[in-house]
Structure 1
Amino acid sequence: MSTRRIAVDVTDRIDDVDIAQWEQVAAESIAPVHYTPAYLRAYQTSPLSPFLAARYVTVTEAGRTLAVLPCYLQKQGDPYGFLRAVGIEGADGPALLGHNWYCYDTRVPVRATGPGQRARVLGAVLDALRNVAAADGARTAGLVSVPEGDPVLDIARDKGWQVAPIVTRFQLPLHTEAGGAFDAYDSYLATLGARTRRTIRQYLRRAADTGVTTAVEAPRPDFLRTVGDLTRRTAAKYGSADMYPESAFTDFVMALGDHARVVRVDRGEQTLAAAVVLLDEERLHMWAGGTSHATLDGFSPNYLLWATEIRMAIEWRKRWVEGGRSNAPMKTRHGMKPLRLYACVAPSGG
């Protein structure tokens, strides 16, 4: 294990970090799109949810960046009540959290030579998170939406942090353990239950018979307003329409560049369903979208939207489709697997 000194640096602007090394760490650890400079820059300049300050933590050794972590100082650290629901108190006030609540795959991207160095680096990140939170006057310091099995959870437990499962996320593997992958959308459909497979095929036929078309395109501000409206109308059913404010939504997506695409389902001049998907090297993320009708003329526009997104992921040779949190029935019907997400929160006090 290396005995050289680990240095921790914290800055409040993503462009003040060593971008090349940040990207290398994110790439080597196969971190999702939420850790790319483009995403972080977009969220910094057009935040979907207001924050008091951003904190970008980097850990270096001998001039080489070993770990990175974006954090946000929030006025209210538990806006959805996930932490209170599992007995984590004190998060209602100011909190410094990594990543943010829009990220359902929080991790500390790290490159290390072995488990000993990894533990040392992760420990340094957690210590820095707690120290920065104290300096910022935050009542809570922690990580939210950390996948089950991530080594940072064990490090947090060893430090006396409170670790608890808070919610479940869903992902669809498009590969096999042997390294194979679906070669076509029909190959994916063959893995689903007979009833779901039959329903999807019926919906595809009925939609085609009524002149429905689907498309994947680069984001445009004018159409993003339509996507945002459908997203908010759908999210309102679950009490979360405020997660996608109109102006910030458009500006944020446009700033993502090639990391974002729009998927749409139309009939003539009417858009029946639309979504923004996020892209990284290995994944297509079903990020935000909505529909105008639950069902229409014997088919579900939402099912067509999902079919187009999954077909796109297969054709673009992605290894995973990330389905985000909640709506377990829809996601499990489409073959998605649950993955439990944890919060780990530092003990209060010195």
Structure 2
Amino acid sequence: MVHRTGAPVFYRHAYLSAYEHAPLTDVESFAYFVARDGGRAVAVTPAYLQTVADPLRRLHETYPEAHGERALLSHAWHCYDAHVPATARVLPRLLESMTRTASIFGARWCGFVNVQRGNALSRDLRANGFPARHLTDRWTVDLAGVSSYEHYLARLGQRARANLRRNERRAQDAGVTAEAVDVGHAALGEITALCDKTANRFDNNDFYRDSAFAAFVTALGDLVHVVEVRQRGRLVAAGICLSDSTRFHTWTCGVDYAVDGNFSPYGVLFAESVRLAISLGKPTLEDGRSNAGFKRRHGLSPRHLDAVLFRI
């Protein structure tokens, strides 16, 4: 069903299994909904029962009335592109089943987070009478037909193009290397510490949970591409990237700006991620949430993400 509907990597069996065995946030219970018609699956979706349901502090700004209460949410916070792989006509039945399950769990709220405004799920929820509230944006760029990194640069404005090239020259002069490595050879201990440090800098404490992060990433297997940026051996930036049939996701990253030289480790990481997406032939680069100024300057466009919650 996931493959048939083109749902993103966050709905692959490997991702869901990894999240259940090494959840990156506190999850009280897991629920997986499958609707069938004559034995054939026509809708699937995961949901997670959470009390501390807002590690990014966005949901409770948008739904202050739900603060501190249990919620059955689809999908997890580490997914920024919620879908319901389904045919539209079964959504009311699916919502009914989710609501009933939330009630059994003792949740006061049920619903969806990080729904792209205007996509099929967004339209179907609105058609069923559920209004949406804006959470944040995620950023994407169309790489269809882009044959090389230089081709990508040529599509940017002159200033952005010059900044990326200058940053790479300065990084090379400062002894910086960037490399894509297999997850089995990645320095996951160093990467975990760097991602956690970066999240803490933005007050997103424990978003990556040291005890679970490396186990989660390892369990993803072939879905993962790891980019390491080092200055004379020291890790100064790292990206955990995911891929599905049409998209390359720069899922999360860590950056240490205390470097020797006038360059941005994040800029080096971004350039290497674009190169990797192009080399893999992915027509869409998904660059996650936040850092809007940098992403807009470098050719990415926002996709508005909404939350749709309803009280049980």
Q: Does TM, scored on the shorter chain, surpass 0.5?
A: yes
Q: Alignment partner of 2:84: what SS?
A: coil
Q: Does 1:290 align with 2:254?
A: yes
* Counterpart in the other structure of 1:303: 267
Give the conservation status (yes or no) of the 8 Å contact 1:221–1:250: no
In the TM superposition, residue 338 of structure 1 has moved relative to its aligned partner by 0.3
Give a deviation string over 1:50-93, Cα, whole Å, max 9, x none.
20111000111011111110100112334444233234522521
Quickly say closer, same or farther: Cα 1:289–1:79, change in 2 above 3 A. closer
Which amino acid counterpart does residue 341 of structure 1 have in structure 2? L
Give the conservation status (yes or no) of the 8 Å contact 1:294–1:300: no
Distance in 2 of aligned mates of 1:300 and 1:28: 40
**Which of 273, 292, 301 is the matching residue for 1:337?**
301
Distance in 1 of aligned mates of 2:6 and 2:171: 38
* Counterpart in the other structure of 2:149: 185
Bigger drift between 291-300 and 55-64 goes to 291-300
Q: Percent identity?
A: 37
Distance in 1 of aligned mates of 2:131 and 2:57: 16
* Counterpart in the other structure of 1:136: 105
**Which of 186, 190, 197 is the matching residue for 1:233?**
197
Unaligned 5+ residue runs, structure 2?
none
**Which of 58, 62, 85 is the matching residue for 1:109?**
85
* Counterpart in the other structure of 1:154: 123
Q: Alignment partner of 2:183: what SS?
A: coil
* Counterpart in the other structure of 1:45: 21
Give the conservation status (yes or no) of the 8 Å contact 2:274–2:285: yes
CA RMSD, aligned part only?
A: 1.7
Distance in 1 of aligned mates of 2:268 and 2:227: 10
Q: Does 1:77 align with 2:46?
A: no
Which amino acid counterpart does residue 227 of structure 1 have in structure 2? I
Quickly say closer, same or farther: Cα 1:294–1:148, change in 2 above 3 A. farther
Q: Alignment partner of 2:200: what SS?
A: helix
Give a deviation string over 1:174-218, Cα, whole Å, max 9, x none.
12xxxxx10000000011121111011111122223332211011
Q: Does 1:167 align with 2:131?
A: no
Unaligned 5+ residue runs, structure 1?
1-24, 111-117, 176-180
* Counterpart in the other structure of 1:11: none
* Counterpart in the other structure of 1:247: 211
Which amino acid counterpart does residue 8 of structure 2 have in structure 1? P
In the TM superposition, residue 245 of structure 1 has moved relative to its aligned partner by 1.5
**Which of 114, 119, 144 is the matching residue for 2:88?**
119
- Paired residue total: 312
* Counterpart in the other structure of 1:224: 188
What TM-score do you get using the length of structure 1 for normalisation? Answer: 0.85
Quickly say closer, same or farther: Cα 1:320–1:55, change in 2 above 3 A. same
* Counterpart in the other structure of 1:209: 173
Distance in 1 of aligned mates of 2:5 and 2:56: 29
Distance in 1 of aligned mates of 2:236 and 2:59: 36
Which amino acid counterpart does residue 311 of structure 1 have in structure 2? R
Larger Rg over CA atoms? 1
Give the conservation status (yes or no) of the 8 Å contact 1:219–1:254: yes
* Counterpart in the other structure of 1:54: 30
Which amino acid counterpart does residue 328 of structure 1 have in structure 2? A
Give the conservation status (yes or no) of the 8 Å contact 1:83–1:89: no
What TM-score do you get using the length of structure 2 for normalisation? Answer: 0.95
* Counterpart in the other structure of 1:114: none
